[in-house]
Amino acid sequence: MRKKSEEKDTATKLIDLCIINEINESNQYILLLGKQAEFYQDYLLHLEDTKPFFFQKKKLKKHQEEIDNCQNKIMELYKKMEEEIDTVYEMQKSLKNK
């Protein structure tokens, strides 16, 4: 009887340890996504600084497509960050409920 209780306690601790490890990995992933978003924001600033003149229609069109693509990437990264933060929140809630 006592052995089963100890096994259950050990299993619970092991599961908690795995969840804590996943939270740490998720936090690192969130930081990585933040750095990627920062890179695209810097690139976006560079694109705004190097905007072609209004009479360079072809270059202006390509430049605008590149800006739109960069903005879309930033939005995707922030959505991924939001999903990951929600996941971390749920994992932390499950730890507190035990």
**Predicted local distance difference test score (pLDDT) of residue 1:** 57
**pTM for the predicted model, two decimal places:** 0.82
The CA-based diameter of the chain, rounded to the nearest angstrom, is 84
Q: 77-87: per-residue pLDDT in tens? A: 999 999 999 99
State the sign of the Cα–Cα–Cα–Cα dihedral 11, 14, 18, 20.
positive
Going from N- to C-terminal start, the domains of the chain cover: 2-96
* Overall average pLDDT of the 41-51 stretch: 92
20-36 burial: b if 16+ Cβ within 10 Å, else e: eeebeebeeebeebeeb
**Predicted local distance difference test score (pLDDT) of residue 19:** 93
